[in-house]
Chains A and B, each alone.
Chain A
Amino acid sequence: MTATLPAPRAARYDDLMQIHSPEFQERARHALDDPGLQKALGRAKEGFQVKRAAAVAGLPEFEALRDTAADIKNHTLANLDFYLETFAANVEAAGGRVHWCSTADEARAAVLKICQDAGARTVTKGKSMISEELAVNEHLEKHGITPVETDLGEYILQIRDEGPSHIIAPAFHLNREDWEETFRRVHTDLAPDRVFAERRDIMAEARIKLRQKFLAADVGITGANFLIAETGSSVIVTNEGNGDLTQTLPRVHIALASIEKMVPTLEDATSLLRVLARSATGQDFSVYTTFSTGVRRPGDLDGPEEYHVVLLDGGRSNMLGTEFQDMLRCIRCAACMNHCPVYGAVGGHSYGWVYPGPMGSVLTPTLIGVDRAGHLPNASTFCGRCESVCPVKIPLPKLMRHWREREFDQHLSPQGVRSGLGIWGWFAQRPGLYRSATGAANLALRLWGRGQGVFRSLPFAGGWTAGRDLPVPQPGGTFMAQYARRKRRG
Chain B
Amino acid sequence: MSRQAILDSIRRGLRRGPLPADQRAMLEGRLAAHPRQLIPARSRVPRPEQIALFLRNLEKEFATFERLADAAAVPGAVAAYLARHNLPSRFAIAPMLADLPWADRPMLTPEARRAHPDDLVCLTHGFAGIAETGTLMLPSDPARPTTLNLLPDTAMVLLRASDIVGAYEEAWDRLRAAGPQGVWMPRNVMLVTGPSRSADIEQTLELGAHGPRRLHVLLVDDE
Contact residues of A with B, CB < 8 Å?
40, 43, 46-48, 59-61, 64-65, 68, 72, 78-86, 88, 93-94, 100-102, 106, 150-153, 156, 169-172, 175-176, 179, 199-200, 202-204, 207, 210-211, 214-215, 229-233, 239-242, 244-245, 248-249, 259, 264-268, 270-271, 273-274, 281, 283-303, 311, 313, 317-322, 325
> How many Å lie between the Cα of A102 and that of B36 in the bound state?
33
Residues of B74-88 contacting chain A, CB below 8 A: none
Which of A59, A80, A303 is close to B188, meaning CB atoms less than 8 Å apart?
A303
**6 A-B contact pairs sorted by A residue (CB < 8 Å):** A79-B23, A204-B208, A229-B31, A241-B196, A293-B186, A301-B113
Given A68-B38, A288-B192, A297–B199 Cβ distance below 8 Å?
no
- Please tell me if the beta carbons of A239 and B197 are within 8 angstroms of each other in the complex: yes
A214 to B: closest C-beta gap in Å: 8
Question: 7 shortest A-B CB distances, which residue pairs?
Answer: A241-B211, A320-B13, A47-B203, A299-B142, A240-B209, A317-B9, A153-B200
Which of B1, B149, B196 is close to A100, meaning CB atoms less than 8 Å apart?
B1
- Please tell me if the beta carbons of B198 and A152 are within 8 angstroms of each other in the complex: yes
Report chain B residues within 8 Å CB of A318: 9, 13
- Please tell me if the beta carbons of B15 and A321 are within 8 angstroms of each other in the complex: yes
Contacts A61-B38, A300-B142 given; 8 further ones with Cβ under 8 A? A59-B40, A60-B40, A102-B9, A171-B200, A249-B147, A267-B169, A297-B140, A320-B13
- Whether, in the assembled complex, B210 has its beta carbon less than 8 Å from a beta carbon of chain A, the answer is yes
Report chain A residues within 8 Å CB of B19: 79, 81-82
> How many Å lie between the Cα of A274 and that of B23 in the bound state?
29
Task: Write the chain B residue with the least CB distance to A291.
Answer: B189
Which of B60, B117, B135, B203 is close to A43, meaning CB atoms less than 8 Å apart?
B203
- Whether, in the assembled complex, B18 has its beta carbon less than 8 Å from a beta carbon of chain A, the answer is yes
Sort chain B's interface into a size bin: 35 or more
- Whether, in the assembled complex, B71 has its beta carbon less than 8 Å from a beta carbon of chain A, the answer is no
Given A285-B135, A287-B193, A61–B203 Cβ distance below 8 Å?
no
- Whether, in the assembled complex, B37 has its beta carbon less than 8 Å from a beta carbon of chain A, the answer is yes
A265 to B: closest C-beta gap in Å: 4
Report chain B residues within 8 Å CB of A84: 6-7, 10
- Whether, in the assembled complex, B68 has its beta carbon less than 8 Å from a beta carbon of chain A, the answer is no
- Please tell me if the beta carbons of A267 and B38 are within 8 angstroms of each other in the complex: no
Residues of B46-66 contacting chain A, CB below 8 A: 57, 60-61
A266 to B: closest C-beta gap in Å: 5
Report chain B residues within 8 Å CB of A47: 199, 203
Task: Write the chain B residue with the least CB distance to A319.
Answer: B13
Which of B15, B168, B199 is close to A239, meaning CB atoms less than 8 Å apart?
B199
Which of B40, B140, B147, B190 is close to A274, meaning CB atoms less than 8 Å apart?
B40
Given A240-B197, A301-B114, A267–B35 Cβ distance below 8 Å?
yes
- Please tell me if the beta carbons of B188 and A290 are within 8 angstroms of each other in the complex: yes
- Please tell me if the beta carbons of A172 and B198 are within 8 angstroms of each other in the complex: no
- Please tell me if the beta carbons of B31 and A86 are within 8 angstroms of each other in the complex: yes
- Please tell me if the beta carbons of A245 and B150 are within 8 angstroms of each other in the complex: yes
B204 to A: closest C-beta gap in Å: 6
> How many Å lie between the Cα of A388 and that of B77 in the bound state?
49
> How many Å lie between the Cα of A215 and that of B200 in the bound state?
23
Which of B142, B147, B203, B206 is close to A297, meaning CB atoms less than 8 Å apart?
B142
Task: Write the chain A residue with the least CB distance to B1.
Answer: A100
> How many Å lie between the Cα of A271 and that of B132 in the bound state?
13
- Please tell me if the beta carbons of A317 and B13 are within 8 angstroms of each other in the complex: yes
- Whether, in the assembled complex, B72 has its beta carbon less than 8 Å from a beta carbon of chain A, the answer is no
Given A267-B172, A293-B186, A301-B145, A239–B196 Cβ distance below 8 Å?
yes
Report chain A residues within 8 Å CB of B189: 233, 290-291, 293
Report chain B residues within 8 Å CB of A81: 7, 10-11, 14, 18-19
- Please tell me if the beta carbons of A169 and B5 are within 8 angstroms of each other in the complex: no
> How many Å lie between the Cα of A391 and that of B1 in the bound state?
35
Which of A78, A289, A302 is close to B147, meaning CB atoms less than 8 Å apart?
A302
Task: Write the chain B residue with the least CB distance to A199.
Answer: B201
